[in-house]
Amino acid sequence: MFTSLLSEASPALAADLNAYYDALAEHHALLFRDWRAALQRESAALRRLLRQHNARRVLDASASVGLHAIALAMNGARVTALCPTPTMLQRAQQNAAQFKLQEAITFLHADLPTLGEALMDSFDLALLKGSVLANWLTEETIHAALNNLHNRLRPQGTLVLSLPAFDLLLEDRPRFVPRHVHDDLPDGRAILFDLYDWQMTEPPSVLHSIFVVTGKDDSFVTARFGALQRALRRTELERLLKAVGFETLSAETSGWELHVTAQRA
């Protein structure tokens, strides 16, 4: 018998995403083989996106440590970036300062589902990237987040979002997934991998843990960053987008990621 998604989650996982984001901020750059190379790739991809949608004002609703906001600012966009915690906000500002772009980006300490009147500007384009959407467990929270994005886009404005391709993941239900190894860190090496603990819930959910093992010689320490995620299928996502007034323009799977483009009606 399936249990409810929220009854399966520990209070820390269900209620305190801020602690998860704060803890991950320090290690976030290690999630990439080469953070600066990833930034250049994103800059090229976002340059095409800005031209395609004639976008100058952009809301990065999943700013994390600033990767996409910085890439957008490199291409001359006026960017507002939402950061859910002070630690994440500070790390994003530090990263922007490395490229002398801290003045080109407005960093806002805010959480999208409860945005309220903290942000009343209008935007041509909004981004919601990574696993942020999956980290919100209830339809009410997802609806609030998507509705806030809809309300802050101009008419015909565009939303570009990505999340894990749970349609594929639910078929195979992988457990252990290796990432990569950093061999040239000042303090030795970093070994990264993911662990998926699939929950017997309805709707489907998974406890996704990122492990970062760092050290050298015979001395290593392990850090684990875990978040319960709602395994949101494509049809569910499209239904939720439609409910707040978005029209889905495209939905494509690349690797284990689902990429969706939607437009405000």
Q: Is residue 30 pLDDT above 50, yes or no?
A: yes
Q: Is residue 10 pLDDT above 70, yes or no?
A: no
In this structure, the answer to whether residues 111 and 179 fall within a common structural domain is: no
User: What's the confidence (pLDDT) of residue 249?
Assistant: 93
In this structure, the answer to whether residues 126 and 187 fall within a common structural domain is: no
In this structure, the answer to whether residues 144 and 175 fall within a common structural domain is: no
Average pLDDT score over residue span 7-26: 64
Q: Is residue 2 pLDDT above 60, yes or no?
A: no
In this structure, the answer to whether residues 259 and 187 fall within a common structural domain is: no
Structural domain boundaries, residue 119: 3-164+233-264
In a 10 Å sphere around its CB, with 0-12 CB exposed, 13-18 middle and 19+ buried, how is residue 99 labelled?
middle
Q: Is residue 5 pLDDT above 80, yes or no?
A: no
User: What's the confidence (pLDDT) of residue 127?
Assistant: 97
Note the pLDDT tens digit of each residue in 229-249.
999 999 999 999 999 999 999
**What is the residue-averaged pLDDT of the chain?**
91
In this structure, the answer to whether residues 50 and 109 fall within a common structural domain is: yes
Rounded CA separation 35/57 (Å): 25
CATH code, domain carrying 114: 3.40.50.150
In this structure, the answer to whether residues 143 and 33 fall within a common structural domain is: yes
In this structure, the answer to whether residues 197 and 237 fall within a common structural domain is: no
User: What's the confidence (pLDDT) of residue 152?
Assistant: 96
Q: Which residues share a beta bridge with 125?
A: 58, 158
In this structure, the answer to whether residues 180 and 200 fall within a common structural domain is: yes
Note the pLDDT tens digit of each residue in 132-159.
999 999 999 999 999 999 999 999 999 9
Note the pLDDT tens digit of each residue in 149-208.
999 999 999 999 999 999 999 999 999 999 999 998 998 999 999 999 999 999 999 999
Average pLDDT score over residue span 78-104: 92
User: What's the confidence (pLDDT) of residue 98?
Assistant: 93
User: What's the confidence (pLDDT) of residue 20?
Assistant: 87
In this structure, the answer to whether residues 243 and 206 fall within a common structural domain is: no
* 8 A C-beta contact, residue 127 and residue 60: yes
Q: Is residue 46 pLDDT above 70, yes or no?
A: yes
What strand order describes the sheet that includes 105-109?
Answer: 105-109, 78-83, 57-60, 123-128, 153-164, 257-264, 246-254
Average pLDDT score over residue span 70-94: 93
In this structure, the answer to whether residues 140 and 179 fall within a common structural domain is: no
In this structure, the answer to whether residues 23 and 133 fall within a common structural domain is: yes
- Residue 164 CB neighbour total at 10 angstroms: 21
In this structure, the answer to whether residues 47 and 124 fall within a common structural domain is: yes
| Number of domains the chain contains | 2
